[in-house]
Amino acid sequence: MDKCEYNVSNSIPKKGLRKKYEAFFAPFGKFLANTWITPNMISILSVGVSICSCIAYSLGSLIGASLGLLVGTFLLGVSSLLDMMDGSLARAKGIAGHFGALLDRTLDRLSEFFFLFGIMIGGYVTPELVFFCFEGMILASYVRSTAELRGGLNMDSTKGIFERKEKLTLLAIGCLLEILIIENIFSDLWSFTNFGILSVIVLIIGIASNISAFQRLLYARDYHATHDISK
Does a structural domain hold residue 129?
yes
Query: What does 45-63 look like in DSSP terms, one character per residue?
Result: HHHHHHHHHHHHHHTHHHH
**Contacts with 97 (C-beta within 8 Å, 6 or more apart), sequence order:** 3, 4, 5
Ramachandran area for residue 163 (φ above 0: left; ψ -120 to 50: alpha; else beta): beta
Residue 193 has pLDDT above 50, yes or no: no
4-19 per-position pLDDT tens digit: 333 333 434 445 556 6
- For the cut 70, the answer to whether the pLDDT of residue 87 exceeds it is yes
Q: Does 114 map to a domain? A: yes
Domain that holds residue 41: 16-221
Residue pair 119/67 in contact (Cβ under 8 Å)? The answer is: no
Residues 162-183 have a mean pLDDT of 86
Neighbour tally for 108: CB within 10 Å: 23
DSSP 79-106: HHHHHHHHHHHHHHHT---HHHHHHHHH
The answer to whether residue 33 sits within a structural domain is: yes
Residue 104 maps to a domain: yes
pLDDT of residue 205: 95
Average pLDDT over residues 111-116: 96
Residue 31: pLDDT band (50, 70, 90) is confident
In this structure, is residue 158 part of a structural domain? yes
CATH number assigned to the domain comprising residue 193: 1.20.120.1760
Domains: count for the chain? 1
Burial code (b: 16+ CB inside 10 Å, e: under 16) for 3-27 equals bbeeeeeeeeeeeeebeeebeebee
Mean pLDDT of the 144-150 span: 77
| 5 found inside a domain | no
- Does 10 fall in a domain? no
Domain assignment present for 151:
yes
